[in-house]
Amino acid sequence: DYFSSVVSPRLVPLILRKTTKMPFITDNYIYHAVKMVSSKKRNSAAGYAIIQIPVSEACPRFVQLPSFGGRNCIIFLDDIIRLCLNDIFFMFNYDEISAYTFKIARDAQLTLDDDISKSLLEKIEDGIENRLHGQPIRLVYDQNMPVDLLEIIKSKLRLRNIDSMEASGRYHLKRDLMRFPKIRPELEAVSPPSLTHPDIKPFSSVLGVIHKKDIFLNYPYHTFNHFIDFLREAAIDPKVESIYITLYRTAGHSKVVNTLINAAKNGKKVYALLELFARFDEEQNVESSESLQKGGVKVIHGVEGLKVHSKLVLVQRKENSVLKGYVYVGTGNFNEDTARVYSDFGLFTSHVQIVQDARAVFDFLLNPHKRFVCKQLLVSPYYLRGKFEEMIDREIRNAQKGKRAFIYAKFNSLTDDKMINHLYEASKKGVEIRLIVRGACCLQPQQKGLSDNIQVISIVDKYLEHARLTIFCNGGDNQVHIMSADWMTRNLDRRVEVGIPILDSKIRKTLKRFFEVQWSDNVKARDLSVFTQNNYVVTLDERVCRSQVELYDFYKNMKKNDEN
Active-site positions read: 309
For 504, half-sphere exposure in the C-beta direction (CA atoms, 13 angstrom radius) is: 16
SS3 92: coil
For 307, half-sphere exposure in the C-beta direction (CA atoms, 13 angstrom radius) is: 17
For 190, half-sphere exposure in the C-beta direction (CA atoms, 13 angstrom radius) is: 7
**DSSP 8-state assignment for residue 530:** S
**Buried-exposed string 438-462: b where 16+ CB fall within 10 A, e elsewhere:** bbebebbbbeeeebebbbbbbbebe
User: Rounded to 5 degrees, what are φ and ψ at 480?
Assistant: -125, 130
Q: Tell me the torsion sign for CA atoms 223, 228, 234, 237.
A: negative
**DSSP 8-state assignment for residue 540:** S
CA dihedral 124, 130, 131, 135 (to 10 degrees): -150
Q: Under 8 Å CB-to-CB from 471, ≥6 apart: which residues?
A: 406, 407, 408, 409, 478, 479, 480, 511, 512, 515
Instruction: Work out whether strand 479-483 and strand 495-501 pair parallel, antiparallel, or are unpaired.
Output: antiparallel
* Contact present, 512 and 480 (Cβ < 8 Å): yes
SS3 281: coil
Q: Catalogue the long-range contacts made by 144-149 (C-beta closer than 8 Å, 24 or more residues apart).
A: 144/100, 144/170, 145/33, 145/100, 145/102, 146/35, 146/98, 146/100, 148/35, 148/46, 149/33, 149/35, 149/48, 149/100
Degrees, nearest 5: CA angle 535-482-359:
155
| Closest of 482, 486, 505 to residue 494, by C-alpha | 486
In angstroms, the CA 384 to CA 405 distance is 21
Q: Taking the CB of residue 550, how many other CB atoms lie within 10 A of it?
A: 19
Q: Which amino acid is at 215?
A: I
User: Rounded to 5 degrees, what are φ and ψ at 487?
Assistant: -90, 70
